[in-house]
Amino acid sequence: MPKLGEKLASEVLDRRATLPRKPAGVTLEGALVKLVPLDLERDLDALYAASDGRPATWGEHCAGTYEPDASVWRYMPAGPFRDPAALAGYLRTLLAAPDGLCLCVTDPRTGQQLGVVNFQANFPEHLKIELGGIWYSPVAQGTGANTEATHLMLEHAFGLGYRRVEWKCDALNERSRRAAERLGFTFEGIQDAHYIVKGRNRDTAWFRMLDTEWPRARERLQARLAAQ
């Protein structure tokens, strides 16, 4: 007889009824960054300025003039953007996603906008959710901001009762792939011809973290943050 998967405990199955399709808005705060639900009226102009190629500063961190496509938008589904209105059109699709929550990454002291992250592809019935649509201004890249933001998001997701958190990226995006592995995600393989993005083929690299893996990954992330 064909085998079946492990029968899950009722306590696990019951969690599904507690999770909405569209994740509830939440504010997550750490020492380096604070994640707040994106507000276009408040955040749009600052996010555009943080990603359009102009020099920027964040505390002691500085970024000179840069090429927006290469530094921010190359592997994203949209961008670079010609003006704030074009960026707003993209961000509205994230805000309106029936299975997603768009968060602005900010400085917890000044409120300075540093980037955007999302809970997306939410499947409460399977207790799984994805972290995606992630980008940061060059001034925040390499500072530990993404490490802490990911830690906050994982802590929140597993605290809600999810069994699986996914991370997907363009298979050519070596920076994102290295980040996923550094943050404790496990590589699961390449899905060929997964999407067409900006008129080009995209093969997608899949990564995941399970609730059983989270305690050990949390320890590593906390140690990494303590060493910042």
Q: What is the pLDDT of residues 103-150, one digit of tens each?
A: 999 999 999 999 999 999 999 999 999 999 999 999 999 999 999 999
Q: Which of 140, 155, 200, 143 is nearest to 173 (CA)?
A: 200
Residue 48 belongs to some domain of the structure: yes
User: How many structural domains are present in the chain?
Assistant: 1
Domain with 115 in it: what CATH number? 3.40.630.30
Domain annotation covers residue 79 = yes
Residue 93 lies in a domain: yes
Note whether residue 154 is domain-resident. yes
Round to whole Å and give the CA distance between 157 and 167.
Answer: 13
Residue 82 lies in a domain: yes
Within-domain flag for 4: no
For residue 174, being part of any structural domain is answered with yes
Residue at 5 is within a domain? no
pLDDT of 19-58, one tens digit each?
A: 999 999 999 999 999 999 999 999 999 999 999 999 999 9
Domain holding 64, by residue range, is: 16-226
CB atoms within 10 A of CB 226: 8
